[in-house]
């Protein structure tokens, strides 16, 4: 199993690297594509779609390190006898066989290799699957009719409702990632053994190890196609930004009022009241603030206008990208 797992990682790691390459390209393409950032499902402040993709790139880069570390952990072998004492075999045999297979001899074993190694491998796969599911979940959310900022490159039409284009690839990724995580629980329980060996884990591993690697391979293939063909809608992203009627700039105004001498409590209460007025349909935030005498004591209308500028929120985007790709 050690050799098979080592070889399985040899197949997975290049696929993850390919996904990273595609994410890098798409993040650079969408570096300045403006959209709203959401927290708790609500409009928060402006971001770019490129930053969202770059965040995924960063997380998957860590998964690449985890897969490589897991491959090293499982790339060991043993021929040390029934209880690990080499009573009937010379350790030189173990060294020669392991060398032929590209494995390292384990420093100590009982009848088998300890299953913390296998659990770490399945954990690396499960964590990878969780990130792929997170990405697919975001695509599904932004694909919804009410948002419609993203569209799968080849969405599946509904079999009964012709107007619907379903994010089926993303949904498949989310479903299979759950199965991949479920395998980890069994792998952890397999770490427990009676004395020097029992058979409780053997039957389990015949399922979870091949299934785990097959699932991870398929998830990487589907996610790579999803990201490569993903269709963002910059115009819809812009129109969704405008839905907040300026509320996404409230923190910028809050901090400027505090900087000019208004107490934080007063500034927060003032902006909260204006935000509620905007939500009641009484106008846009900039308009309501410009008409408030208390605000004008601290900010003139031209100064206020400069705070409602998308570029203020995006001025560090290039710096963030440079941390990854230099001056590209």
Using CA atoms, how far apart are residues 324 and 328, in angstroms rounded to an integer?
A: 9
* Tokens coding 232: 């963002």
Start-end ranges of CATH 1.20.200.10 in the chain?
2-240
* Alpha carbon 129 to chain centroid, angstroms: 9
Using CA atoms, how far apart are residues 152 and 146, in angstroms rounded to an integer?
A: 16
* Tokens coding 193: 């053994």
Print burial letters for 292-326: b (CB count within 10 Å at least 16), e (below 16). Answer: eeebeebbeeeebeebbeeeebbeebeeebeeeee
- 279 near 289, Cβ under 8 Å? no
CATH 3.40.50.20 corresponds to the domain 247-307: no
What is the DSSP code string of 147-163?
T--EE-SSPEEPSS-TT
Backbone angles phi and psi of 104, in degrees to 5: -100, 140
pLDDT of residue 303: 95
- 70 near 76, Cβ under 8 Å? no
Start-end ranges of CATH 1.10.40.30 in the chain?
247-307
CATH architecture of the domain 2-240 equals Up-down Bundle (1.20)
Residues near 226 by beta carbon (within 8 Å), at least 6 away in sequence: 135, 136, 139, 152, 153, 169, 170, 173
Q: Comparing C-alpha atoms, which of 118, 124, 127 is closest to residue 206?
A: 118
pLDDT of residue 155: 63
Q: How many residues make up the chain in this entry?
A: 328
The one-digit pLDDT tens for each residue of the chain (328 residues) are 899 999 999 999 999 999 999 999 999 999 999 999 999 999 999 999 999 999 999 999 999 999 999 999 999 999 999 999 999 999 999 999 999 999 999 999 999 999 999 999 999 999 999 999 999 999 999 999 999 999 998 766 767 777 778 899 999 999 999 999 999 999 999 999 999 999 999 999 999 999 999 999 999 999 999 999 999 999 999 999 999 999 999 999 999 999 999 999 999 999 999 999 999 999 999 999 999 999 999 999 999 999 999 999 999 999 999 999 986 6
Cβ-based burial of 48 (10 A; exposed 0-12, middle 13-18, buried ≥19) = buried
Cβ-based burial of 261 (10 A; exposed 0-12, middle 13-18, buried ≥19) = exposed
Residues with a known catalytic role: 40, 158
pLDDT of residue 156: 66
Backbone angles phi and psi of 263, in degrees to 5: -65, 155
Using CA atoms, how far apart are residues 314 and 317, in angstroms rounded to an integer?
A: 5
């Amino acid at each position: 199993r050690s050799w098979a797992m080592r070889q399985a990682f040899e197949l997975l790691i290049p696929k993850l690297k390919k996904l990273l390459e595609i994410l890098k390209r798409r993040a650079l393409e969408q570096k300045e594509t403006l959209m709203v950032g959401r927290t708790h499902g609500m409009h928060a402040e402006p971001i770019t779609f490129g930053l969202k993709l770059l965040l995924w790139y960063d997380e998957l880069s860590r998964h690449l390190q985890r897969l490589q570390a897991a491959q090293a952990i499982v790339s060991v072998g043993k021929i040390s006898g029934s209880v690990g004492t080499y009573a009937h075999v010379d350790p030189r045999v173990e060294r020669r066989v392991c060398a032929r297979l590209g494995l390292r001899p384990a420093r100590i074993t009982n009848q088998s290799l300890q299953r913390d190694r296998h659990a770490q491998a399945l954990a690396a796969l499960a964590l990878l699957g969780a990130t792929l599911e997170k990405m697919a979940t975001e695509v599904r959310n932004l694909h919804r009719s009410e948002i419609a900022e993203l569209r799968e490159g080849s969405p599946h039409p509904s079999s009964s409702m012709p107007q619907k284009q379903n994010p089926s690839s993303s949904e498949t990724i989310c479903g299979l990632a759950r199965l991949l995580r479920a395998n980890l629980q069994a792998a952890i329980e397999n770490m427990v053994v009676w004395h020097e060996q029992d058979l409780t884990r053997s039957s389990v591993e015949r399922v979870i190890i091949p299934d785990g690697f097959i699932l991870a391979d398929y998830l990487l293939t589907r996610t790579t196609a999803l990201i490569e063909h993903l269709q963002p809608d910059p115009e819809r992203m812009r129109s969704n930004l405008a839905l907040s009627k300026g509320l996404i700039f409230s923190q910028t105004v809050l901090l400027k009022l505090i900087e000019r001498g208004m107490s934080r409590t007063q500034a927060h209460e003032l902006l909260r009241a204006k935000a509620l007025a905007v939500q009641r349909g009484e106008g846009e935030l900039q308009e309501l603030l410009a008409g408030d005498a208390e605000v004008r004591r601290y900010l003139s209308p031209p100064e206020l206008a400069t705070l409602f500028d998308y570029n203020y929120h995006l001025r560090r985007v290039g710096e963030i990208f440079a941390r990854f790709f230099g001056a590209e």
